[in-house]
Amino acid sequence: MGWRGTAGQAVNRVLAEANLALVRRELDFEDRLESPKHLDAMFRALADAFGTWLAHQSVLRATARLDLVAEIATFHADYLRTSFREKAGGSRFNNLLCLNLIARLMAPPLIVDSGTYTGASAWALSRGAPQAQVVSFDIDLSHLALRAPGVRYIESDWTRAEFPADQARAGFCYFDDHVDQARRLIEAAERGFGLAIFDDDFTLGAFPAMARDPGVLPKIEMVLDTSLEDGEEIVWSSRGVRRSWRVDAAYLARARSHVAATDRLPNTSLVTGIHQTPYRLVALR
């Protein structure tokens, strides 16, 4: 009967008193296609989604040509051999694939990865741009599971480092560090970066499930939302605790002034069965 058998049910009855439950830890693609024809169809569907988006977006400039189907197939095979497939925390296949493809297409000289955690994003970025200087920052590197070759790992906030202006302009920053995204946008723009990519940029209706700390606000969605009025209070509950955040319109406008163009990556959840919010890309002035 496995973990859901008698023992698991007994533990869950006890945990239920505290509104908790025992959940089996699963991996991305633990259940997956293996027949070559149908696996290839999944790769082609991913390539179509990303290729269509790429043809119509105005945020990033590709400097390399890429066989998307072949790249996706090899990335999938490599990903299955990593330690990054657990569902609990960290980046997952869909978004890591996009990081890899963006790095491959842009071939930048410099990539900043803010929010190392287990190292999944640094791995995907360095895999996509092996020629780049990839610098990965986290205030706590104790969760790092894999050190990708060629990546510099620094245990500090990313703003403590300095980067050459020409490399910053041709490079990009990736933020998955649970910090106020307006702040990160301003920091990246003021340091001369041409592009910033944000994880966890949830809409106004979706953010409460991920915002137990008001310090993660505002999201880029809020920076772009000109209907938010100065001083108004956004109120939500998180696990029964009432929380709030007050709009600072001048602060949002300051961050918005650095936005030259913005877009979201395509949602490929229905293609792979792996559900996650697509990244937000911001071209910086």
Answer yes or no: do 130 and 69 share one domain.
Answer: yes
Is residue 155 a contact partner of residue 139, using CB atoms and an 8 Å limit? yes
Is residue 114 a contact partner of residue 137, using CB atoms and an 8 Å limit? yes
* pLDDT of res. 55: 95
Average pLDDT over residues 214-242: 93
CA-to-CA distance for 256 and 161, rounded, in angstroms?
24
Q: What angle do CA 104, 105, 106 make, to 5 degrees?
A: 95
State the amino acid at position 225 in one-letter form: D
Q: Is the pLDDT of residue 108 over 60?
A: yes
Band (pLDDT 50/70/90 cuts) for residue 20 is: low
Q: Is the pLDDT of residue 218 over 70?
A: yes
Answer yes or no: do 83 and 137 share one domain.
Answer: yes
Answer yes or no: do 228 and 200 share one domain.
Answer: yes
Band (pLDDT 50/70/90 cuts) for residue 91 is: confident
Q: Is the pLDDT of residue 283 over 70?
A: yes
Question: For residue 50, what are its two tokens?
Answer: 């990303």
Is residue 176 a contact partner of residue 137, using CB atoms and an 8 Å limit? no
Average pLDDT over residues 68-89: 92
Answer yes or no: do 119 and 21 share one domain.
Answer: no
Give the rounded percent of residues in the chain with a pLDDT score beyond 70: 91
Answer yes or no: do 16 and 57 share one domain.
Answer: no
CA-to-CA distance for 201 and 19, rounded, in angstroms?
28
Answer yes or no: do 146 and 19 share one domain.
Answer: no
DSSP 210: G
* pLDDT of res. 133: 98
What is the extent of the structural domain holding 232? 32-284
The CATH number covering residue 132 comes to 3.40.50.150
Answer yes or no: do 115 and 195 share one domain.
Answer: yes
* pLDDT of res. 1: 45
pLDDT tens-place string over residues 36-62: 999 999 999 999 999 999 999 999 999
Q: Is the pLDDT of residue 224 over 50?
A: yes
The residues, any chain, with a CB within 8 Å of residue 69's CB and separated by 6 or more, are 40, 43, 44, 47
Answer yes or no: do 16 and 60 share one domain.
Answer: no
Helix (H, G, I), strand (E, B) or coil at 212: coil
Residue indicated by tokens 């990313």: 158
Q: Is the pLDDT of residue 107 over 80?
A: yes
CA-to-CA distance for 171 and 157, rounded, in angstroms?
18
pLDDT tens-place string over residues 109-118: 999 999 999 9
Answer yes or no: do 96 and 171 share one domain.
Answer: yes
pLDDT tens-place string over residues 137-175: 999 999 999 999 999 999 999 999 999 999 999 999 999
* pLDDT of res. 238: 84
Answer yes or no: do 191 and 76 share one domain.
Answer: yes
pLDDT, mean over the chain: 92
Helices (H), 143-277: 165-170, 181-190, 220-224, 249-256, 269-272
* Stronger pLDDT, 215 or 154, i.e. the higher one: 154
* Stronger pLDDT, 258 or 4, i.e. the higher one: 258
* pLDDT of res. 25: 67
- For the chain, helix (H) and strand (E) counts, in that order, are 10, 9
Answer yes or no: do 23 and 37 share one domain.
Answer: no
pLDDT tens-place string over residues 117-134: 999 999 999 999 999 999
* pLDDT of res. 130: 97
Answer yes or no: do 231 and 213 share one domain.
Answer: yes
Question: For residue 86, what are its two tokens?
Answer: 């657990």
* Stronger pLDDT, 7 or 193, i.e. the higher one: 193
* pLDDT of res. 3: 47
Average pLDDT over residues 249-272: 97
Helix (H, G, I), strand (E, B) or coil at 241: strand
How many domains are contained in the chain? 2
